[in-house]
Amino acid sequence: MIISGIIIGVALGWVLQRGRVCMNSGFRDIILVQNTEIFRAFLAALIIMIVGANLLEDTGVIKVLYRQGFMPIANIIGGYLFGMGIVLASGCASGIWFKIGEGTVPAWVSVLGFFLGILTTSEGVLARFYQALSKYQVWLTGGGIKILTATEVDHAWASHSEIYPLTLYNMFGINKWIVVVVIGAAFLFVILRGDFKASRSGYSWYFAGPLVGIIGVAAWWASDYFGGKARGLSFTGPTVELFRWITQGDDPTWSVFMIIGMIIGSYLSSRRGGEFRLKSCGGNETVDAFVGGFVMGFGAVIGGGCNIGHGLTGASTLAVSSFVTIVFIILGNWTMVYIKFIRPTHLH
């Protein structure tokens, strides 16, 4: 478990750092500088993960992919707030972790805020707010698509009733590979529209994106085979697990070692590229980093995941909840980009 988690993490940290693949930049650059490189890398990774994850499931390599239930209110509000938070923190959930490896001090502040936001919302004073937003859920039952309360969902699971998470294929009653082909074609259309001249140093977006997708598929298998659960790449729950392992001695999960490996991989990559240096921050930047991290943690719990947990891992299962959440993460990102960067220039 330890070795496989670290290997996957090192590979992910290396590629993210060398390719500068951070979803805050990927979503932000679309409207701020009209650059779609990182967003196209994200779509390339997602295509590979959708195909790979479902092949692993259909061939029996993984017994079942974990798909989240659709919580419309929670997914929309949580995703939107998370998207706003990543702009303030100057990094997404994976971005703030890999930036630690290259010596960015504000990233440490954002990770601390992220952890506190997660814990406060899942177990602390904001837990009731989370429970209220996630009360009503949409599931596929033997009688069709129904809106159920969280209590009814728990009773259904306990009684082994016929209940399934809503996906892009079972909501229409079609074969999932039809959906895979349609989505893949749509994403490829977006990917191929722009040119393939990379404007950033390091790995080109069209090299880094597919590599992230391959690592994501490997993470599905490794987390299942060595970690005991097909969890794939995720950062919300594992962030808390890492802190609890360090501070309370809880048993570490596969994902804990994945995060540790990711920091190591980013460090090695930044050292190799001559980019490692300790980068301090001023007072305003420190506040933004912490508040942004906290809002990210709050939004991630409410929405049920982050830009990786939903945007890549969750979306690769074709869960409706993940696609809705990532859309609102993007919208939240664009809202904060307008407030923080675009609107001030118009005022001047």
- Report, as an integer, the average pLDDT of 185-205: 89
Residue among 51, 79, 47, 76 nearest 65 (CA): 51
- Write down the pLDDT at residue 348: 66
- Cα separation of 46 and 210, whole Å? 8
∠144-150-151 over CA atoms, to 5°? Answer: 100
Least confident of 94-108, 189-203, 258-272: 189-203
Distance CA 50, CA 55 (A): 9
Residue 252 has pLDDT above 90, yes or no: yes
The count of domains in the chain is 1
Q: Return the higher-pLDDT residue of 278 and 259.
A: 259
Range of the domain at 48: 2-347
Can you give the pLDDT at residue 199? 73
Q: Looking at residue 324, what is its pLDDT? A: 98
pLDDT at 280: 80
Q: In a 3-state reduction of DSSP, which class is residue 4? A: helix
Is 262's pLDDT higher than 90? yes
- pLDDT above 80 (res 54): yes
Paired with 144 in beta bridges are: 141
pLDDT, average across residues 178-191: 97
Burial of 3 (0-12, 13-18, 19+ CB in 10 A): exposed
Reported as a single tens digit per residue, the pLDDT across 279-337 is: 887 778 899 999 999 999 999 999 999 999 999 999 999 999 999 999 999 999 999 99
Q: Distance (Å, rounded) from C-alpha 282 to C-alpha 195?
A: 38
Q: Is the pLDDT of residue 268 over 90?
A: yes
Residues with Cβ < 8 Å from 279, sequence gap 6 or more? 103, 104, 105, 106
Q: What is the pLDDT of residue 10?
A: 98
Question: Given this model, what pLDDT does residue 200 score?
Answer: 75
* CA dist list (Å): 341 to 269, 286, 333: 30, 18, 11
pLDDT value at residue 198 = 76
Write down the pLDDT at residue 43: 98
Average pLDDT, the chain: 95
**Mean per-residue pLDDT, 210-239:** 96
Note the pLDDT of residue 283.
78
DSSP line for 274-315: T----B---HHHHHHHHHHHHHHHHHHHHHTS-TTIIIIIIG
